[in-house]
């Protein structure tokens, strides 16, 4: 006969089993988590599949090239030829070809001159040297030296008479079209009003032609 | 008994996971199988006219027809422009600019002005952007619906501040349009 106490007594072994159950229960947790992870991963894959993006592409192409802007001189260029023993009232003529050699046309061209060495010949804006530039529709016909030029076509004024030293003087009546050439004649004059103070002086003048591209356009 | 229960649970998990995977596979494979039910992009004339002798301040207009085939519509269309990554025309202040507009009818060419005009409704699809980077540009106000055609005008421009360093440069631009169904 088992007394209740004994029964309880026998039941006293239960805690041992309970502790074993607890141990067993502890090893189930990782498996449960692993199972949940598997289910979660599968659900994620399913979700990605459901929201997969379908795309389509097509393309077009073309080449794009920028042009060039080039201002050169020649073949005629007598600007490097100096003049000596110049007296008041004298003038010197020199020819230069200006080429618009790039693939882009110009919008404008300016002239900047400087002197080094310098003297009153170029610093005296009233009685010092003055410059005039003309253009001929064909190449100038040269004679000399001393050089003089005549035009077999039509002439136009590129720069009206102005002191020989200037900065960014605007030149007009130029062709400016890519691939074309302007035939210019530069005439430098010592005015007849030049006094004795301008005797026995020397200046070297540098001419710089600067061109700017045409305005933007549709290509 | 606990072992049997655990086995059953594991089997249930495996079956559920497999079922989900099969569903996923079917869901993602469906567009590929039924291709005709989804929109596809196409450009009829893929070779655009070249742009030459471009100078700072210049612009060049080109048109293309973006067609949507198949079925349905795109939720988004983006544009990627390649070809300028290592070019001076794609960097800094000298980078080429691009603007895209859409016309409800075909663009009308003005041969003298070398431009294209719109006689129908007009939308800006992409505002002026520098196209030096490879980042995609989201295009807006496209019809993006299968069976339709969007008449697009591309306007390329070289900024006025581009200096002499931008002279004599050559690049091949590739415009890639990508549509996402959803």
Same domain for A130 and A188: yes
* pLDDT lower than 70: segments of chain A: 1-32, 35, 38-39, 41-52
Say if A65 falls within a structural domain: no
Give CA separation, A29 vs A25, A35, B7, B20, in Å.
7, 10, 15, 23
pLDDT digits (tens, 9 = 90+) for A31-61: 667 767 766 766 665 555 455 578 899 999 9
- Same domain assignment for residues A90 and A198: yes
pTM of the complete model: 0.73
Structural domains of chain A, count? 2
Residues 6+ apart with CB under 8 A from B102: B122, B123, B124, B125, B141, B142, B150, B151, B152, B153
Q: Name the residue ranges covered by the structural domains of chain B.
A: 2-33, 37-180
Phi (first) and psi of residue A7, to 5 degrees? -55, -45
**Cβ pair B178:A53 closer than 8 A:** no
Residues A116 and A190 grouped into a single domain: yes
Q: Are residues A108 and A202 in the same domain?
A: yes
* B42–A contact, CB cutoff 8 A: yes
| Residues of A in Cβ contact (< 8 Å) with B167 | 66-69, 102
Contacts of A45 in chain B (CB under 8 A): 20-21, 24
Residue A154 sits in which domain range? 71-213
Complete DSSP assignment for B75-111 = SEEEEEEES-TTSGGGSGGG--EEEEEEESSPPEEET
* Nearest residue in chain A measured CA to CA from B23: A46
**Calpha distance A141→A93 (Å, rounded):** 12
Nearest by CB: B43 against A51, A60, A218: A60
Phi, psi (degrees; rounded to nearest 5) at A81 = -90, 120
Q: Are B59 and B155 in contact (CB under 8 A)?
A: yes
Q: How many helices (H) and strands (E) does chain A have?
A: 3, 11
**For domain B37-180, which CATH number applies: 3.40.50, 3.10.350, 3.30.390, 2.60.40?**
2.60.40
Residues of A with Cβ-Cβ distance to B168 under 8 angstroms = 65-68
For chain A, the residue count is 219
State what percent of residues in chain A have pLDDT above 70. 78
> Do residues A21 and A76 both lie within one domain?
no
For residue range B82-110, what is the model confidence (pLDDT) as tens digits?
988 888 888 887 899 999 999 999 999 99
For chain B positions 84-113, those within 8 Å of chain A (CB to CB) are 89, 96, 113
Are A46 and A82 contained in the same domain? no
Specify whether A90 is located in the same domain as A45.
no
């Amino acid at each position: 006969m088992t007394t209740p106490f004994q029964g309880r007594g026998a039941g006293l072994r239960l805690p041992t089993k309970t502790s074993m159950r607890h141990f067993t229960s502890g090893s189930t947790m990782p498996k449960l988590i692993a199972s949940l992870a598997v289910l979660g991963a599968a659900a994620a894959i399913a979700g990605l599949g459901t929201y997969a993006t379908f795309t389509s592409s097509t393309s077009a192409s073309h080449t794009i090239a920028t042009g060039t802007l080039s201002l050169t001189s020649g073949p005629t260029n007598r600007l490097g030829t100096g003049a000596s023993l110049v007296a008041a009232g004298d003038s010197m003529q020199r020819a230069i070809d200006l080429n618009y050699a790039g693939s882009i046309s110009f919008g404008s061209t300016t002239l900047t001159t400087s002197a080094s060495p310098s003297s009153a010949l170029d610093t005296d804006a009233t009685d010092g040297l003055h410059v005039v530039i003309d253009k001929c529709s064909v190449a100038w016909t040269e004679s000399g030296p001393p050089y003089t030029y005549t035009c077999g076509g039509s002439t136009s004024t590129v720069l009206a008479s102005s002191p020989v030293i200037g900065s960014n003087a605007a030149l007009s009546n130029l062709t400016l079209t890519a691939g074309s050439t302007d035939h210019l004649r530069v005439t430098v004059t010592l005015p007849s009003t030049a006094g004795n103070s301008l005797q026995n002086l020397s200046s070297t003048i540098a001419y710089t032609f600067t061109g700017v591209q045409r305005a933007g356009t549709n290509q | 008994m606990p072992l049997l229960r655990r086995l059953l649970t594991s089997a249930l998990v495996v079956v559920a996971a497999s079922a989900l995977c099969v569903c996923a596979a079917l869901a993602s494979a469906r567009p590929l199988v039924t291709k005709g039910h989804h929109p596809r992009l196409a450009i009829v004339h893929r070779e655009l006219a070249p742009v030459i002798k471009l100078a700072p301040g210049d612009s060049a207009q080109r048109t293309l027809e973006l067609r949507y085939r198949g079925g349905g519509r795109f939720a988004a269309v983006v544009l990627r422009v390649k070809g300028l990554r290592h070019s001076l025309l794609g960097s800094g202040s000298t980078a080429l600019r691009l603007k895209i507009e859409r016309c409800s009818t075909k663009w009308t060419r003005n041969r003298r002005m070398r431009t294209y005009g719109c006689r129908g409704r007009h939308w800006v699809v992409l505002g002026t952007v520098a196209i030096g980077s490879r980042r995609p540009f989201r295009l807006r106000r496209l019809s993006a619906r299968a069976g339709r055609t969007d008449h697009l005008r591309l306007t390329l421009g070289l900024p006025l501040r581009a200096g002499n360093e931008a002279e004599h440069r050559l690049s091949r631009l590739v415009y890639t349009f990508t549509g996402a169904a959803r």
